[in-house]
A and B are shown apart, each in its own frame.
Chain A
């Protein structure tokens, strides 16, 4: 009977959630496109996920929380999705209801992140080109990549154009192109991002349920979003500009994300454990807050 109740509540939440899967699916599609053209490096990923995160806040809070949480006006249909009065006045187990609601939240947040993992399987390696000219990583950075990414190796490929020769033509000088290949680095980045995303979602859920006590915090949130959302859009543009600039101005600093990824790879067990503890604590706190939540709307 208990299992039936779980399934019934999960079905109910899924029904409500269906229309809100639009945003995660759009972001998943973007990630597929960027992955296909091999433009999804760490910085671009962060910018995209920032934007996604802002939208998540707008669209998801109602499923965990209730109408009026952030002072947004909404119609009856949306209120029907948000209000806790209906489920809380039925003989539904609040813990099970939280589990179903939370599962749907994590599912939707995970859609673009899991898509990134799947997309990365097509191009699992990362290649960092080393040119003699501007934009090439400095020898120290090259050494860092080789030392900190398992299996990283220098690769030299003959990039001489294969032009048809004819009698009397001068042979083309060989053009050897050097690069550092980081095996499975793109997949590792995707998995790391998924793990960080799940941790972030758990913390976000806990934060939102925590703020229900404090009206002033609820009112601050939309203001914060007003800054964050345009900030995320600007960040995407900034990434493009920085990337273009790097092509012309040398590259002697190791990207922070690459450094973080290297740390995560080398300390994967610690990283997993810390994440699991954070997620566990956040979920426990969220569930307790949800179970003790009043249905005010």
Chain B
């Protein structure tokens, strides 16, 4: 059944999935606005790949509901699949085929196939279309898989660790392509990556997954504007156990406390700090710092 949700390309409600008794996702709720580049972050084993596979319709959730472009992805028709490009974490391409043959093979399945884009990307990535997939380097195979996902001109592009095997130059080219694509067509890009500097460069929304649940999901600018590290110091007396509700992380250092928390308005701290007889200092965090603070207590 198709339900129209014009605002969101991806909607997940209380989605759980486990494998042989081990929970990969626990009641994950996620909304990805249309036309955004959504950076999906999480440590190894956080459940990113499972979430992406569910969104791509490759596996089913044990419970909860998923809507991708208004449709349950496990019920995707071929027409639905034409609208969703997917690059998996360990994309294994038909290794016996030559690059050109593989692209030619896939083209007829997609009415929106952009051959000009294919030619441009092959040249840009310096990939010889006469070579077999099996003789390409890991990075080049990844680039071919990326071209396949992009050439269909999807409405939604799902990228699982797309740049993990690319060198710095290839990664930069790849990011430029994503930005170009967004400028031209405005598709939604859902991107998971360990390389936070990449996410910071391209994403406008960010979600941080830890222990199978989404800890944070919001525009990147807002995240960086509001999640701060606050140094509490100059206590009149030993603060003992110091707890601030909603803090992502607290750490004691001598008579000081470093607390990572959301600070919508610095004035919100004035009252409590006065009652503790302390002073505070707000420090800005970059995305990597925020990610570490939010996900450092995830169960390995």
Return B86 CB to nearest CB of chain A, in Å.
Answer: 4
Chain B CB within 8 A of A162 CB: no
Within 8 A of A (CB), among B64-112: 78-79, 81-82, 86, 88, 91-97, 105-106, 108-110
B236 at the interface (CB under 8 A from A): no
Closest CB of chain A to B3's CB: distance in Å? 21
State in angstroms the CA–CA spacing of A8 and B101 once bound together. 11
Contact B94 A295 (CB under 8 A): no
Residues B94 and A15 in contact, CB atoms below 8 Å apart: yes
Q: Per DSSP, are chain B's interface residues mostly helix, strand or loop, or mixed?
A: loop
Hey, which chain B residues are within 8 Å of A296, CB to CB? Answer: 59
B78 / chain A contacts, CB cutoff of 8 Å = 91-93
Cβ of B243 within 8 Å of any chain A Cβ, yes or no, is no
| A90 and B95 contact, Cβ closer than 8 Å, known pairs A215-B20, A295-B59 | no
Interface of A, secondary structure class, is: helix
Interface footprint category on A: 20 to 34
Interface check B36, CB cutoff 8 A: no
Which residues on A sit within 8 Å (CB–CB) of B105?
A: 8, 11-12
List A contacts of B4 (CB < 8 A).
Answer: none
Q: For residues 78 through 120 of chain A, which have their beta carbon under 8 Å from a beta carbon of chain B?
A: 79-80, 83, 85-86, 88-93
Contact status B58-A12, CB under 8 Å = no
A50–chain B nearest beta-carbon distance, Å: 31
Out of B58, B79, B93, which one reaches A294, CB within 8 Å?
Answer: B58
Q: Does A165 contact B (CB under 8 A)?
A: no
CB distance from A287 to the nearest CB of B (A): 16
Quick check: is A5 within 8 A (CB to CB) of the other chain? Answer: yes
Within 8 Å of chain B (Cβ to Cβ): is A267? no
Residues of A within 8 A of B43 (CB): none
* Residue positions of A touching B, CB distance < 8 A: 1, 4-5, 8, 11-12, 15-16, 76-77, 79-80, 83, 85-86, 88-93, 215, 294-296
**What are some 21 contacts across the A-B interface (CB < 8 A)?**
A5-B109, A8-B109, A11-B105, A12-B105, A77-B95, A79-B92, A80-B93, A80-B95, A83-B92, A85-B88, A85-B92, A86-B93, A89-B58, A90-B81, A91-B79, A92-B78, A294-B58, A294-B59, A295-B53, A295-B59, A296-B59
